[in-house]
């Protein structure tokens, strides 16, 4: 009788995927330009003419609300001589290029420009700011530089509905604060750290004993699409670091939806919504924004205290972890070891990292 076949070990990615500037360049030109990326929240552009600028995959863009109520995104570049159109955020009646005062409607069409009527054959109706695919997802604005990209509901099937169940008041939520966290590491190191809890009991004692119940924690890819779903129960109420109401639907649960490649909705116990979004700057640095939300953006002592606790514990703890990994990846002594893939899954398994690293390979090796 032959011995049962032992499956081959799955090893972590080679260090070059995190340290090679050429691979980072491929990601910027390919992956990050062809996937849905978080831009902002619709409360930032509530009224006609409201706008804000931001950057995705090395491109400067801006979102603006039209007089027709439509939210649009454009490349932040004048079609005349390539000057950037706007900076920061604000409100405007029309979009005026600071260089030569070419003026565009809120819909992007050219309205006027000094002396353009003197040019034979000049047809301003053929000139428009270049639009970018834009979608709203429960009030969160996402963009995709790929005009042919599938809609978000195909990329992340079922998330819109499930998130609405866990945060029933999500339509009323607005940002209370976004905390900017610079990290000296490749963006994938930070995303991987976020996407497993194998390290939680050792490195995040407050989160593991005062928010979630670790023995119930699991992270799994959803059956289709590009989503990792975190699930767990809340800690015993006597140990929770903030008050929650477990009588409401899902009040005693924690659920997180990581949307590949750079965004996550987190629902803390008590139906508290917070988010992560990442921006990659170069092969060795990124920024993470941690968002917290309340109805109407109204101040909340409970959410403020939870955000402060999070910054002082989980955030600071993770910065040390990811920056140490970044240094270790550059060591000639590093030889990628096998992932811990427990058939029973759970807290101490790295099935989520296996799926993430599959997506990472596909993004640059295809």
Q: Give me the domains of the chain, ranges plus CATH numbers.
A: 37-144 (2.102.10.10), 166-365 (3.90.380.10)
Asked whether the beta carbons of 48 and 65 are under 8 A apart, the reply is yes
Concatenated DSSP letters of 187-223? HHHHHHHHT--TTHHHH-HHHHHHTB-GGG-EEEE-S
Instruction: Single out the residue of 89, 49, 88, 96 nearest to residue 71, CA to CA.
Output: 49
Token look-up 């076949």 returns 5
What is residue 204's predicted lDDT score, i.e. its pLDDT? Answer: 87
What is residue 340's predicted lDDT score, i.e. its pLDDT? Answer: 92
* Token pair of 235 as six digits: 């800690």
Cis peptide before 9 (omega within 30 of 0): no
What is residue 1's predicted lDDT score, i.e. its pLDDT? Answer: 55
What is residue 346's predicted lDDT score, i.e. its pLDDT? Answer: 85
Q: pTM of the full predicted structure? A: 0.94
* Token pair of 39 as six digits: 């831009």
Instruction: Spell out where 7-124 has E strands.
Output: 37-41, 50-56, 59-65, 71-75, 89-91, 95-96, 103-104, 110-112
> How far is it, in rounded angstroms, from Cα 33 to Cα 205?
37
What is residue 4's predicted lDDT score, i.e. its pLDDT? Answer: 61
What is residue 217's predicted lDDT score, i.e. its pLDDT? Answer: 85
What is residue 35's predicted lDDT score, i.e. its pLDDT? Answer: 98
Asked whether the beta carbons of 257 and 352 are under 8 A apart, the reply is no
> How far is it, in rounded angstroms, from Cα 271 to Cα 169?
9
Residues of the chain with pLDDT under 50: none
> How far is it, in rounded angstroms, from Cα 290 to Cα 298?
17
- % of the chain surpassing 70 pLDDT: 98
- Rounded to 5°, angle at Cα 281 from 196 and 133: 85
Neighbours of 295 (CB within 10 A): 13
What is residue 241's predicted lDDT score, i.e. its pLDDT? Answer: 87
Asked whether the beta carbons of 236 and 212 are under 8 A apart, the reply is no
Asked whether the beta carbons of 262 and 38 are under 8 A apart, the reply is yes
Instruction: Single out the residue of 96, 252, 280 nearest to residue 184, CA to CA.
Output: 280
What is residue 205's predicted lDDT score, i.e. its pLDDT? Answer: 84
Concatenated DSSP letters of 100-122? T--EE-TTSBEEE-TTGGGSTT-
> How far is it, in rounded angstroms, from Cα 30 to Cα 36?
12
């Amino acid at each position: 009788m032959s011995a049962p076949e032992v499956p081959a070990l799955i090893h972590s990615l080679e260090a070059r995927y995190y340290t090679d500037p050429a691979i980072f360049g491929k990601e910027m030109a390919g992956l990050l330009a062809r996937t849905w990326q978080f831009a902002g929240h619709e409360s930032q552009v509530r009224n006609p003419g409201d706008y804000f600028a931001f950057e995705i995959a090395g491109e400067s863009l801006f979102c603006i609300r039209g007089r027709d109520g439509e939210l649009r995104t454009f490349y932040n570049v004048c079609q005349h001589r390539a000057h950037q159109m706007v900076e920061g955020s604000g409100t405007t009646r029309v979009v005026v290029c600071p260089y030569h005062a070419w003026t565009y409607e809120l819909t992007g069409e050219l309205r006027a420009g000094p002396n353009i009527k003197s040019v034979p054959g000049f047809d301003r109706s053929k000139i428009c700011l270049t639009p970018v695919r834009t979608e709203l997802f429960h009030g969160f604005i996402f963009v995709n530089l790929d005009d042919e990209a599938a809609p978000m509901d195909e990329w992340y099937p079922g998330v819109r509905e499930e998130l609405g169940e866990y945060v029933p008041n999500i339509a009323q939520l607005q940002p209370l604060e976004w905390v900017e966290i610079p990290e000296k590491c490749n963006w994938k190191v930070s995303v991987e750290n976020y996407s497993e809890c194998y390290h939680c009991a050792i490195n995040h004692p407050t989160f593991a004993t005062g928010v979630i119940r670790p023995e119930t924690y699991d992270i799994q890819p959803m059956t289709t699409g590009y989503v990792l779903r975190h699930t767990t129960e809340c800690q015993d109420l006597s140990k929770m670091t903030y008050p929650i109401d477990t009588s409401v639907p899902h009040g005693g649960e924690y659920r997180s939806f990581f949307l590949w490649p750079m965004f996550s909705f987190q629902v803390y116990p008590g139906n508290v919504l917070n988010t992560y979004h990442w921006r990659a700057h170069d092969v060795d640095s990124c920024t993470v924004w941690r968002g917290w939300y309340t109805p109407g953006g109204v101040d909340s002592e409970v959410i403020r205290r939870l955000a402060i606790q999070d910054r002082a514990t989980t955030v600071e703890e993770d910065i040390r972890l990811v920056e140490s990994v970044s240094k270790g990846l550059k060591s000639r002594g590093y030889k990628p070891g096998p992932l811990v893939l427990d058939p029973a899954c759970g807290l101490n398994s790295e099935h989520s990292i296996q799926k993430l690293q599959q997506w990472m390979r596909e993004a640059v090796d295809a």
